[in-house]
Structure 1
Amino acid sequence: MIGPLLALGSALTWGVADFSGGMLSRRLPSAAVVGVSQACSLVALLVLLPFMPAPTSSGWIGWAIVAGLAGSGALVCFYRALAFGTVGVVSPISALAVSIPVIAGFAAGEQPRTLQVAGIVAAITGAVLASGPELRGEQHVKQQAIWYALAAAVGFGITMLAIARGSASSPMFTMVGMRSASVAAFGVAAIVLRSVGGVRPGDLPKLALLGLGDVTANALLGFATTMGLLSITAVLSALYPVVTVGLAAVILHERMKPVQIAGVVLAFVGVGLIAGG
């Protein structure tokens, strides 16, 4: 049960990080929030680097680069989508990212038990519903929001798959390579634009915590995939919308819609089925 528990820990941490990142992106450019927070997490990883066990092979390198570029690009697209549309449209689309690692797991020959397959379906459906999909009445949603959300979904899905593949050699070195690739890309952009997006020294503590939360979630997913089926661990880690919605209800006093409550319940049913299988 260690693998599924780590995957659920990843969902919890991702949910908190997404909520925090969304709050920070209300007053700072999304690219600046992602770039600076990831640079802070890279510093922390480099401090830990001498204490990390050596990887079993160099297979993590390519996957880490893919995960870094796809993940950072997906986060920027996700925050841009929120700038054009509402959470009720953007989140359900981006939550479908989990379909990529699930399909990859099945294609690789994974065969979850019948109850676990039912749990996977229930958990994915619950995560989407918990995001609050209500397309009716969203008259002011721009087409850009849909395209950015779709790009985010593809990027998140590729990131989850790349983390899993790289973690087969070394979960922690995959994190280092992933962050190095994304920070390098944002660094080049900052040099070209001659700007860090208006980030001030006072913003660094919050951005550092955000970066640590995101990389912790990634690492938990990486370790989880080495202890269980990718099709199951990916689904459990993708329950982060449930956490984000819960935080919005508690902190921002946003009222949960009936469809969101049903989604949360269904997600928990899915977790129970996966564990019971």
Structure 2
Amino acid sequence: MISVLLGLASAVGYGAADFLGGIAARRIIAMLVTAVAALAGVAALTLAAPIDGGVWHLETTLVGFATGVTSCLGIWLLYSAYARGPMTTLAPVVAIVSTVVPMSAGLLSGETFSPLGWTALVIGLVAIALVSRPGAGERTRAHRVDVIKAAVAGAFLGVLYIHLDSAPLDAGLTPLTANRISCAVLAFAIAGVLAWRSRGVHPVDVGGGGGAADAVGGVVRDAGGGGVMTVTATRVDTRRSVVIAAAVAIACASGLLDASANTLFLVGLSFGDLSVLSVVSGFYPAVTILLALLFLGERPSRLQTMGIVLALAAMLGMSMA
């Protein structure tokens, strides 16, 4: 029972972290959100280290640093897709692909695949096709490029799951900590380069069909809408500071939730089986979808809703395979 509760808590953490990361990426560039979230995760994992008691292994740490590169790209693509695409239709794509990748790695290493697993895989592919269909309104329309971003993001995140699964049992959270450190360093470096290349960009026209310029000072994605309004440089700087501060706070919350979810998952392993935890925590896309429905007003079409349900069913099947 305790393992189920911990798995459920981790699912809530994962789903909420993805949602908040997407919200932050609608205000500042996705790479900066990735950097801040990763750094917040490092802080949380460092605080949890004495409780975790994980042992640092040289090979595992080096691989953790290497997977930090793929995680950085995966999280960036995820937030970039969420920044303009509907989370209700993109979250299932990320979840299914991130599950299929480690499953495929297991097959290549000689593991067997049950009929349930193959059935779930087919259902998952059908689900992706359904959720990727154009929605009835702008809030449910997933552009092809965003679906591709979500799929590639899932593939990159699946690489991290392979690494965590292969790490020694006594490593604890150390592989994830190394991963987040590498991700934070790379993401901050890239975000810094982007900000430097965009230095001196201070648009004064806000609005025009749903938002301001795509970048203000290299980091702000959207400063609001509602018509064209000429503002002074001081007001632009003030608005920019408020937008950045709010987005950074949201990104920090995303990183803390993600790290907390991973910690809860690890603790859950000491109370129950991995299979049970995988099934329960695997429903994290449902949390992202629910939050998008409640707070963003996204309303998927009937076919998309069917695809979302099939995606959750596929996740359950693949977790039990």
1:48 is aligned to 48
1:98 aligns to 2:99 (yes or no): yes
1:178 is aligned to 179
Q: What do you get for the CA RMSD once the two structures are aligned? A: 4.2
Higher normalized helix content (fraction of residues): 1
> What percent identity do the matched residue pairs reach?
22
1:213 is aligned to 257
Is the alpha carbon distance of 1:260 and 1:239 closer, same or farther for their aligned partners in structure 2, counting shifts above 3 Å?
farther
* Whole-angstrom CA distance in 1 between matches of 2:7 and 2:126: 16
Contact 2:64 2:176 survives alignment (8 Å):
yes
* Whole-angstrom CA distance in 1 between matches of 2:168 and 2:134: 38
Aligned-pair CA distance for 1:242: 2.1
The two structures have a TM-score, normalised by structure 1, of 0.74
Aligned-pair CA distance for 1:76: 1.0
Q: Look up the equivalent residue of 1:94 and give its one-letter code.
A: V
Q: Look up the equivalent residue of 1:174 and give its one-letter code.
A: P
Q: Deviations over 1:22-72 (max 9, x none)?
A: 112111111111111211221222233344314274442133223322122
1:166 aligns to 2:167 (yes or no): yes
**Which blocks of at least 5 consecutive residues in structure 1 are unaligned?**
none
Aligned-pair CA distance for 1:167: 5.8
**Which secondary structure does the structure 2 equivalent of 1:176 belong to?**
helix
Aligned-pair CA distance for 1:245: 1.4
Contact 1:123 1:268 survives alignment (8 Å):
no
Is the alpha carbon distance of 1:6 and 1:262 closer, same or farther for their aligned partners in structure 2, counting shifts above 3 Å?
farther
Structure 1 stretch 2-11 or stretch 250-259: which is displaced more?
2-11
**Which secondary structure does the structure 1 equivalent of 2:19 belong to?**
helix
Is the alpha carbon distance of 1:137 and 1:149 closer, same or farther for their aligned partners in structure 2, counting shifts above 3 Å?
same
The two structures have a TM-score, normalised by structure 2, of 0.66
**Which secondary structure does the structure 2 equivalent of 1:68 belong to?**
helix
1:228 aligns to 2:227 (yes or no): no
Q: Look up the equivalent residue of 2:152 and give its one-letter code.
A: A
| Larger Rg over CA atoms | 2
Structure 1 stretch 51-60 or stretch 28-37: which is displaced more?
51-60
Q: Look up the equivalent residue of 1:254 and give its one-letter code.
A: E
* Whole-angstrom CA distance in 1 between matches of 2:182 and 2:257: 18
* Whole-angstrom CA distance in 2 between matches of 1:272 and 1:137: 28
How do 1:41-190 residues align onto structure 2 when only pairs under 5 Å count?
Answer: 41-55=41-55, 57-82=57-82, 87=87, 90-95=90-95, 96-111=97-112, 117=117, 120-121=120-121, 124=124, 128=128, 132-135=131-134, 144-166=145-167, 168-190=169-191
Contact 1:20 1:210 survives alignment (8 Å):
yes
Structure 1 stretch 40-49 or stretch 188-197: which is displaced more?
188-197
How do 1:20-39 residues align onto structure 2 when only pairs under 5 Å count?
Answer: 20-39=20-39
